[in-house]
Structure 1
Amino acid sequence: MYFSIDTDGAVPIYEQIVRQVKLAVADGILVGGQRVPSVRQLASQLAINSNTIARAYQELQADHVLEPLRGRGMIVRRDAINRCTKARNALVADGVRRALADALAGGMTADELREVFEMELQRQSSLIGNGKSREA
């Protein structure tokens, strides 16, 4: 699994890891029973303090996304997909709320917002349909 960490951003690094693991589970990139990198491996890979990774994994355990496998590290819980899908949907809804609030405060009309939304939805759907990355 690939992590994209913004060390200068407003979101704490451990929270970025938590979000990305939940999104990976919701998207089927990580599946129930799959092992995740050890704290030491991930800390080395990302060049981040191992305590930060441990904190993210502890939160993921508390959120019932990961579970320890005695002597072998952490695995994704088999029942984590529903929780992670709900978490992803909540993150998206929050982003939409913020974008709408900013657009309306900036003077955009509902019709202008609908037009922008429909155009972008069509563009993104076409990118995904062509096998291109969502980030393209």
Structure 2
Amino acid sequence: MFFSIEPGGDVPIYEQIVRQVKLAVADGVLVGGQMVPSVRQLASELAINPNTIARAYQQLQTDLVLEPLRGRGMIVRRDSVSRCTKARNSLVGDAVRRVLVDALSGGMTPEDLRELFEAELRRQAELAGPNGSTK
């Protein structure tokens, strides 16, 4: 699994991992019953503290996305897709709201926003290709 971590970003690293796992489950990249990398393995791959990974995995257990498989590691819960889809929709909705507030308070009109949104949506659809996932 590929993670994109921004160490200097506004979002804590453990939360970035939580979000990306949830997005991967919602998108079907991670499926129920699939093992996730061990804490040690992921910490090594990302060059971050293992405690950060452990904290993310603990949060994902609390959020009913991951569950421990005795003696083997952590797996994606088979019933986690709908929760992860709701989490994805909430994250995207929050981001859209922040952008809209900033744009409207910055003087953009609803029509400016619609044009910008439609143009970017077309561009992203072209980048995604026929299967719908971004490249």
Matches within 5 A, 1:50-129: 50-129=50-129
Structure 2: distance between partners of 1:9 and 1:127: 25
RMSD: 1.4
Aligned-pair CA distance for 1:121: 1.3
TM-score (norm 1): 0.94
Aligned-pair CA distance for 1:126: 2.2
Structure 2: distance between partners of 1:45 and 1:119: 36
Unaligned residue ranges in structure 1 (runs of 5+): none
SS at match of 2:91: helix
Structure 1: distance between partners of 2:75 and 2:131: 29
Aligned-pair CA distance for 1:133: 6.0
Aligned length: 135
Residue 22 of structure 2 corresponds to residue 2 of structure 1: no
Structure 2: distance between partners of 1:9 and 1:129: 29
Structure 1: distance between partners of 2:130 and 2:106: 34
Aligned-pair CA distance for 1:129: 2.7
Matches within 5 A, 1:23-42: 23-42=23-42
Runs of 4+ aligned structure 1 residues displaced above 6 Å come to: none
Report the residue type matching 2:70 in the other structure: R
Q: Percent identity?
A: 74
TM-score (norm 2): 0.95
Q: Deviations over 1:75-102 (max 9, x none)?
A: 0000111000000000100110011011
